[in-house]
């Protein structure tokens, strides 16, 4: 008879006891037996979140063997893929191998279904048997392994009309465009930092959809190489090349472009450190900044805004909001530009 586990997965926490799995230092990844309210999956691909994968690549100097070793060391030590330097994880796709007795018939899932996890690897018990291939430009890693989803964990069945690796890339950042849909109002000027990236372009599309013909979407990327891709996008009005970790220079460029009005809503999708003030300085007084990057420091953002007298609303990106999977998959179905570009990148 299977043991009954806590719906939030605290039965898997090894250290410190009493913590939830995401905050825990170590979790139990012995998956030889599952609890009656767990779902066991055979994992095929990990999508490492951008901040974490960038950090790991930097620490490994881009060497694939070193990247594999760092990833294995993380999982061996912590029982999950929670990057100890960024605190972030990612998500996986896999095939449902076993459903706990307490969940059978209560969820719309059966053994053999192919799914994407919509909860972070930073809380997911994970075993890696073999790392087969690293997709350096996709932040994706093909593996042979297993993972557990808890009773409260969220997931999505992979759609038939979108290739699995593309769906995984999209679902990893589904919270971003879904939150943008809530924040942007008709007529708003929206500035997206890291606009050429995976979440950035999706946010640009959703921002233009919400802001409408009287609104304005300004795409910011840190290198000239991304300009043409952004300029071709039919949902971007202006392109700026600037670095978010150089806030004075960036704010001058946005100030000139907007005649001092700045952004009503600023979305930060930049996956590197020290970019908080770049976002804050280009936001108008009483405007809103949405930090979707896992590299964001609450301390730097809060004290930095105070230090320059900016009275703005600052929102930390939640990877989940109701209906976010449908929102992001529908963006690819709606936009031929996004479909073509993302299929080339991630398909």
193 & 335 share domain: yes
For 15, the enclosing helix (H) or strand (E) is: strand 13-15
* pLDDT interval class at 264 (50, 70, 90): very high
- Amino acid 36: pLDDT: 97
Whether residue 1 is contained in a domain is answered as no
- Tens of pLDDT, residue by residue over 188-240, are 999 999 999 999 999 999 999 999 999 999 999 999 988 999 999 999 999 99
Asked if 98 and 147 sit in the same domain, the reply is yes
- Angle 208-214-216 from CA coordinates, rounded to 5°: 45
pLDDT of residue 293 exceeding 90: no
Check whether residue 179 and residue 328 sit in a common domain.
yes
Domain membership of residue 127 as a residue range: 10-158
Mean model confidence pLDDT for the chain: 96
Q: Is residue 207 part of a domain?
A: yes
183 and 149, same structural domain? no
> In terms of domains, do 203 and 85 share one?
no
Examine residue 36 and state whether it is found in any structural domain, yes or no: yes
**What confidence tier does 307 reach under pLDDT thresholds 50, 70, 90?**
very high
Same domain? For 238 and 148 the reply is: no
Distance, in Å, from the CA atom of 131 to the CA atom of 277, rounded to the nearest integer, reads: 38
How many residues appear in the chain? 347
- CB distance 214 to 188 below 8 Å: no
167 located within any domain: no
Same structural domain, 98 and 190: no
* Distance in angstroms (rounded) separating the CA atoms of residues 294 and 51: 6
Residues 70 and 110 in one domain: yes
Cis peptide upstream of residue 213 (ω within 30 degrees of 0): no
Query: Per-residue pLDDT for 50 more than 90?
Result: no
Last residue of a domain, one of 131, 158, 185: 158
Question: The domain that contains 264 carries what CATH number?
Answer: 3.40.50.720
DSSP letters, 17-35, are TT--TTT-SEE----SS--
Specify the pLDDT at position 85.
94
Q: Residue 253, exposed/middle/buried by CB under 10 A (0-12, 13-18, 19+)?
A: middle
Domains of the chain: total = 2
Q: Tens digits of per-residue pLDDT, 77-126?
A: 999 999 999 999 999 999 999 999 999 999 999 999 999 999 999 999 99
Residues 138 and 237 in one domain: no
The continuous run of DSSP H or E covering 342 comes out as helix 336-346
User: How many other C-beta atoms lie within 10 A of the C-beta of residue 326?
Assistant: 13
Q: Please provide residue 295's backbone torsions phi and psi, each rounded to the nearest 5 degrees.
A: -85, 0
């Amino acid at each position: 008879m299977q043991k009954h586990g806590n719906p939030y997965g605290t039965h898997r926490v090894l250290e410190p006891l009493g913590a939830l799995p995401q905050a825990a230092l170590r979790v139990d990844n012995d998956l030889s037996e599952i609890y009656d309210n767990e779902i066991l999956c055979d994992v095929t691909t990990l999508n490492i979140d951008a901040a974490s994968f960038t950090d790991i690549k930097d620490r490994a100097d881009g060497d694939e063997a070193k990247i594999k070793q760092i990833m294995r060391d993380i999982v061996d030590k912590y029982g999950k893929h929670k990057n100890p330097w960024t605190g972030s994880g990612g998500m996986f796709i896999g095939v449902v191998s076993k459903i706990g007795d307490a969940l059978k018939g209560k969820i719309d899932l059966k053994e053999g279904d192919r799914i994407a996890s919509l909860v972070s690897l930073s809380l997911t018990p994970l075993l890696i048997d073999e790392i087969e291939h690293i997709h350096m430009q996709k932040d994706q890693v093909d593996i042979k392994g297993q993972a557990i989803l808890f009773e409260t964990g969220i997931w999505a069945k992979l759609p038939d009309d979108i290739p699995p690796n593309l769906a995984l890339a999209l679902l990893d950042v589904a919270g971003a465009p879904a939150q943008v849909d809530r924040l942007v109002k008709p007529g708003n000027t929206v500035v997206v930092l890291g606009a050429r990236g995976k979440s950035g372009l999706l946010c640009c599309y959703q921002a233009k959809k919400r802001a409408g013909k009287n609104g304005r979407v300004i795409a910011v990327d840190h290198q000239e190489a991304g300009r043409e891709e952004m300029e071709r996008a039919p949902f971007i009005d202006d392109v700026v090349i600037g670095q978010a970790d150089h806030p004075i220079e960036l704010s001058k460029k946005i100030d000139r472009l907007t005649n001092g009005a700045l952004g009503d809503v600023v979305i930060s999708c930049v996956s590197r450190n020290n970019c908080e003030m770049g976002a804050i300085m280009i936001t108008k007084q009483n405007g809103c900044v949405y930090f979707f990057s896992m590299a964001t420091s609450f301390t730097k953002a809060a004290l930095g805004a105070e230090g320059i007298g900016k009275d703005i609303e600052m929102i930390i990106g939640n990877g989940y909001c109701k209906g976010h999977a449908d929102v992001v998959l529908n963006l690819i179905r709606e936009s031929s530009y996004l479909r073509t570009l993302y299929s080339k990148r991630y398909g």
